[in-house]
């Protein structure tokens, strides 16, 4: 079994621009320009995956669907697509872009039966985003709380979910380090792959996450630290054991 940690550089799109939020809160964004240029930069630097998010769709205030579809069709990367996928129509449109996997967030809390059905239909092309505040799930735009995270992991694992993207909301965009305890706890509850999201600030954080690969933490989304230059993507890939 490989001990490599798969890295997914993030491109979060709002109003047609690449941005990064703090704790997922609207109004905290820093803007980083053309999202296709950002995505190309990570591809050229050696990324195999991209974490692509439509923030406007996630917050229910619009859509960048056409732009995201163009980015996916232009790139030669595996793309995990996220943001505002809550029903069959938005799911079909997302899957139709040619992305490798879609992430379902809020809908997993508000409509678990639908999530179980689409996992059954689409298998490993469906990932479930588990956003955690303390012991509770954080819902739409991280504003509401949605129950105990462990119950959701158990239910969706039983339904056949193969990938959970786990974010400690308190650390997202804060550059305070990932919540290793939470990630280890999630990985111990499920046979699915666990992807870490939020808080990664230093190469040491990636080394620590790589130490969790045997437990089932197989990937990490990196955003703010890359954009502000804490390390380069090639340095991160080396730390992750490429």
Strands 17-20 and 78-82, by their bridges, are unpaired
Under DSSP, is residue 184 helix (H, G, I), strand (E, B) or coil?
Answer: helix
Contact 58, 82 (CB under 8 A): yes
Contact 106, 139 (CB under 8 A): yes
Cα distances (angstroms) measured from residue 35 to each of 53, 214, 241? 10, 33, 27
DSSP 33-72: S-HHHHHHHHHHTT-SEEEEEEHHHHTTS---HHHHHHHH
**Cβ-based neighbour number of residue 157 at 10 Å:** 17
**Catalytically annotated residues:** 12, 131
Q: Please tell me the distance from the alpha carbon of residue 104 to that of residue 112, in angstroms, as a whole number.
A: 10
Cα distances (angstroms) measured from residue 107 to each of 72, 103, 178? 23, 10, 24
């Amino acid at each position: 079994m490989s001990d490599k940690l798969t890295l997914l550089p993030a491109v979060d799109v709002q109003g047609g621009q690449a941005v990064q939020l703090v704790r997922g809160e609207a109004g905290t964004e820093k803007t980083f320009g053309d999202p296709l240029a950002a995505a190309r930069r990570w591809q050229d630097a050696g990324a195999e995956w991209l974490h692509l998010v439509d923030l406007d769709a996630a917050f229910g205030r619009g859509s960048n669907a056409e732009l995201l579809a163009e980015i996916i069709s232009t790139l030669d990367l595996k793309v995990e697509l996220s943001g505002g996928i809550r029903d069959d129509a938005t799911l079909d449109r997302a899957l139709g872009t040619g992305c490798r996997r879609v992430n379902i967030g809020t809908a997993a809390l508000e409509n678990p039966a639908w999530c179980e059905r689409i996992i059954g239909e689409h298998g490993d092309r469906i990932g479930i985003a588990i956003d955690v505040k303390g012991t509770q799930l954080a819902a739409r735009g991280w504003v509401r709380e949605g129950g105990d995270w462990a119950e959701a992991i158990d239910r969706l694992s039983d339904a056949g979910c193969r990938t959970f993207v786990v974010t400690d909301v308190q650390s997202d965009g804060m550059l305070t380090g990932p919540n290793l305890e939470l990630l280890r706890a999630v990985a111990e509850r499920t046979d699915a792959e666990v992807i870490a999201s939020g808080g990664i600030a230093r190469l040491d954080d990636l080394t620590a996450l790589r130490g969790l690969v045997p437990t089932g933490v197989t990937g990490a989304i990196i955003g703010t630290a890359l954009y502000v230059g804490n390390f380069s993507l090639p340095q991160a890939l080396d730390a992750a054991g490429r």
